[in-house]
């Protein structure tokens, strides 16, 4: 494909042609943080929970093209049928947070914690933003995957199984969920994989109900308390809604907190004429502003996920031109079955 002499309209037209030709054999899934032109070309947009549901339910498509980051496409590959291929337009679209927890250090932490409190005392819950191998680890150890939509139900499910929950990699989603469920901060420890016993005392680990990996999202931890205070001054009367990957200090000052779908619904249901300040990824906020012209929608602070932004018209078009062949996302069979177990548990835990 010659990039230089092709206009955006031309690329869009070629993408629409391929879509028409493939019909129901092709399903393009787009995450809410994708560029507008990509979302406009997709068949279904959603957050990571909604897109997983879609991938798990679809039987007609032969090819699923996932416009999002790698762990999302990999999750779709775990849930897809054997006759379906999953492709991502850019294999380099990873997630910084997912890279903060690796199998080796999670297994080491698991061994250290269970040697103190016994294996039967601990259930692992992994955020969707993680490698398939970690999802499989959870499947093998009686645990589950969760997303920001169903983290509270997943934690409640976990505590109904065993005394302690081990949650990785996002400490902020973990802490905000614990606050929502009134789990005392005294019963929570943060695990630093670089330090012996995660930088905790054996007594603190034994006493803890919740063990949180020390990962975080650079896009959402960019928001500061002073951003909220500034916005309150500039827009008195505005409502402020943020994603639970933000720090608990930011969440405490906001009017509402919730997953990407929650934020979309919050803005949609805000009264006409109102002002809503949103603390999440900028591409979603810009689209919400366009789709809700009767309201004023502003970002809490500019924050873009460069990984999500890697998917552009060129990447999507090249993928479609080589449908079923280019940038395939696959999960080895040895990992897939266990990962599927943990993903199925996630799908049964309603948001």
**Site residues (CB under 6 A) for ligand SF4?**
69, 95-97, 129, 217, 219, 281, 305, 307-308
DSSP secondary structure letter of residue 271: P
42, 30 in Cβ contact below 8 A? yes
Distance, CA of 30 to CA of 12 (rounded, Å): 15
Nearer to ligand 13P by Cβ, of 34 and 200: the residue is 34
CB of 51 to ligand 13P, least distance (A): 8
* Least CB distance to ligand 13P at residue 107 (A): 24
Least distance from ligand SF4 to the Cβ atom of residue 259, Å: 11
**Whose Cβ is closer to ligand 13P: residue 49's or residue 167's?**
49
Q: Please state, in angstroms and rounded to a whole number, the distance separating the CA atoms of residues 104 and 285.
A: 37
Of the pair 220, 239, the CB lying nearest ligand 13P is at: 220
26 interacts with, out of ligand 13P, ligand SF4, none, CB within 5 to 8 A per kind:
none
* Sign, CA torsion 276/281/285/288: negative
Residue whose C-alpha is closest to residue 240's, from 193, 284, 280: 280
| Residue whose C-alpha is closest to residue 266's, from 252, 277, 282, 281 | 277
Q: Which residues pair with 86 in a beta bridge?
A: 64
Q: How far is the CB of 218 from ligand SF4 (least distance, A)?
A: 6
- Residue (87 or 259) nearer to ligand 13P, CB: 259
DSSP 277: E
Q: Could you tell which of ligand SF4, ligand 13P, none binds residue 307, using a CB distance below 5 to 8 A set by kind? A: ligand SF4
Four-residue CA torsion sign, 128, 132, 136, 138: negative
- Which residues contribute to the site for ligand 13P (CB under 6 A)? 47-49, 129, 147-148, 217, 245, 259-260
- Residue 96 interacting entry, from ligand 13P, ligand SF4, none, C-beta within 5 to 8 Å by type: ligand SF4
Percentages helix, strand, coil for the chain (3-state, rounded to 5) are 50, 15, 35
Closest to ligand 13P by CB, 148 vs 200, is: 148
304 CB-contact burial (10 Å; exposed 0-12 / middle 13-18 / buried 19+): middle
Closer Cβ to ligand 13P, 34 or 188, answer by number: 34
Shortest distance (Å) from residue 159 CB to ligand 13P? 21
SS3 127: strand
Write down the least CB distance from residue 342 to ligand 13P, Å: 16
Q: Of 102 and 140, which has the nearer Cβ to ligand SF4?
A: 102
- Shortest Å, Cβ 127 to ligand 13P: 8
Is 116 in contact with 203 (CB distance < 8 Å)? no
Tokens of 318: 């090249």
Give CA–CA dist 281/184, Å, rounded: 30
Close Cβ partners of 147 (under 8 Å, ≥ 6 residues apart): 47, 48, 49, 52, 127, 128, 259, 346, 351
**245 or 338: CB nearest ligand 13P:** 245
**CB of residue 160 to ligand 13P, shortest distance in Å:** 23
Q: Do the beta carbons of residue 66 and residue 72 sit within 8 Å?
A: yes
Choose the one of ligand SF4, ligand 13P, none that binds residue 148, judging by a C-beta under 5 to 8 angstroms depending on kind: ligand 13P
């Amino acid at each position: 494909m010659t990039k230089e002499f092709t206009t955006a309209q031309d690329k869009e037209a070629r993408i629409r042609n391929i879509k028409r030709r493939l019909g129901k054999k092709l399903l393009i899934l787009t995450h809410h943080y994708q560029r507008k032109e990509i979302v406009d070309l997709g068949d279904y947009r959603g957050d990571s929970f909604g897109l997983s549901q879609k991938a798990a339910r679809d039987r007609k498509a032969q090819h699923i093209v996932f416009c999002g980051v790698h762990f999302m496409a990999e999750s779709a590959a775990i849930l897809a049928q054997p006759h379906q291929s999953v492709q991502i337009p850019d294999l380099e679209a990873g997630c910084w947070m997912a890279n903060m927890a690796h199998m080796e250090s999670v297994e080491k932490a698991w061994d250290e914690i269970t040697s103190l409190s016994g294996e039967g005392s601990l259930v692992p819950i992994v955020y969707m933003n993680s490698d398939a191998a970690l999802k499989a680890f959870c499947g093998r150890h009686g645990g589950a995957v969760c997303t920001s939509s169903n983290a509270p139900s997943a934690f409640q499910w976990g505590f109904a199984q065993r005394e302690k929950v081990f949650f990785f990699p996002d400490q902020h989603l973990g802490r905000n969920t614990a606050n929502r469920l009134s789990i005392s901060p005294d019963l929570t420890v943060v695990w630093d994989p670089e330090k012996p016993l995660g930088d905790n005392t054996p007594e603190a680990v034994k006493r803890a109900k919740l063990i949180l990996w020390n990962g975080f999202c650079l896009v959402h931890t960019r928001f500061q308390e002073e951003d909220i205070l500034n916005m309150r001054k500039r827009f008195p009367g505005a409502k402020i809604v943020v994603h639970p990957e933000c720090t608990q200090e930011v969440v405490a000052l906001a009017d509402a907190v919730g997953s990407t779908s929650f934020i979309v619904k919050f803005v949609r249901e805000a009264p006409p004429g109102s002002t809503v300040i949103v603390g999440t990824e900028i591409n979603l906020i810009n689209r919400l502003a366009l789709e809700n012209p009767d309201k004023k929608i502003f970002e809490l602070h500019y924050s873009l996920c460069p990984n999500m932004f890697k998917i552009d018209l060129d990447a999507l078009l090249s993928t479609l031109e080589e449908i079923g062949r280019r940038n395939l996302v696959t999960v080895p069979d040895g990992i897939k079955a266990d990962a599927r177990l943990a993903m199925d548990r996630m799908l049964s835990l309603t948001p």
